[in-house]
Amino acid sequence: MKNKKKHIYSAIPLIFIVTAVISLSGLDLHQPMASAESEIYYGKTTSSVTTTEIISYNSYTEDTYHDNFFFSDYHNTNTSLINVCAPEAGADILGFYDRYCTSLISNWVSGHTVGSNYIYYSQTNSNVQYIQPCIDSLYASMGTNSIENGTSRTQYQTGLQSYVQNAGYTISFTSAMSGSIPNISTLSTQLQANKVITLYMSGYTYTAIGNLGSTQVTYTHSTYSGNHMVVVYGYRIIRYYNASNVNFRTDSFLVVTGGANKLTNHYILIDTSKTSFINADVTYIY
C-alpha cells in the first residue's frame, strides 16, 4: 500500500524536546561498541529512556509504503531460548516469503488474499505448533549464544541460508547502507519489489508518531542500549512545511517488526543521534 497526501494548516514552526519518563534502571547509553562488526552480537535489549518531541507546522505531506496488518509477525514461546531477536527476525522473513515459496515453514500457510491485499495470519495458540519449530530450528542453525550472548550478522546469514537451502530455495543479502545510515531510496525500491530488509542496530530508538492532521504532532522516542535486529517491511516519510510553504523538516521512518520489541505503530527514525545503524541487508528468498 502506497499513498501520498498533503494537509494544510496555519501554525508557526516550533520544535522542542521534553524529557518525559525514565523507565527501569541501570541504562548506559555510552557503553563501548565492538571495534569490528564481526564482534557484534545481537539479542539482548536493556532498559529504556523515553522522551517526547513536539513539532508545530502549517502543513505536511506524507509518503507511506506499508500496512501494519499485512506482515508476518512471529515471536518465540520457548522459554529455554534467550537472546532470540535473530531467530525471530529470520522467522518473520520466512513467513513473509512463504507466501511465494510455500515450503519454507512446514505445514504452514502464511495468509490469504482479500481483494488486492494479502493478509498474513498472526501467531496464535492454535498455530504456534508450526511457527515455534521454525524459530527453534533457526536458533540452532544460527548458533545463537554458542559464541557470545546473541547472534552475529555472520551467524544469522549463515544459519538462515542453511535453513532456506534445506527447504529448496535460494537467499541473497545485499547491503542497502549509504555511509552510516540506510539508503531510503534503495529501501523504497526494494520494498516495493516485495523484498524485506534485515536491520542491525547497536543502541536504537523506537518512535511512536502521534496523530497528524492538526498543526502539531508529538513523537514519543523510546531509546534502548544493547544490540538488536529487526525486519523492515515499510517506510513512512513526513515532510513539514511552515506558513511560507517552506519544507523546514523531513523525517524518514522505517516500519519494523521482529525481535523482542514488537511495538505496534512504532517506527525507527533514520537519525544517527537516536540509532546507531550497523547495517541494513535486503534479504530476498526465491
pLDDT, tens digit (0-9, with 9 covering 90-100), for 113-169: 988 888 899 899 999 999 999 999 999 999 999 999 999 999 999 999 999 999 999
**pLDDT of 181 strictly over 90:** yes
Please state which of the ranges 69-73, 125-129, 256-260 shows the lowest mean pLDDT: 256-260
pLDDT, tens digit (0-9, with 9 covering 90-100), for 73-123: 899 999 999 999 999 999 999 999 999 999 999 999 999 998 888 889 989
**pLDDT of 9 strictly over 50:** no
pTM: 0.84
DSSP assignment of the chain equals -EEEEEEE-----EEEEEEEEE-SS---TTPPPPSSGGG-EE--EEEEEEEEEEEE-SEEEEEEE--TTSS-------TT--S-HHHHHHHHHHHHHTTTSTTSSTT---EEEETTEEEEPPP-TTTHHHHHHHHHHHHHHTTTTSSSSSEEHHHHHHHHHHHHHHTT--EEEEE-EETTEE-HHHHHHHHHTT-EEEEEEEEEEEEEE---SSSEEEEEEEEEEEEEEEEEEEEEEEEEE-TT--EEEEEEEEEEE-SS---TTEEEES-TTT--EEEEEEEEE-
Domain boundaries, the chain: 2-285
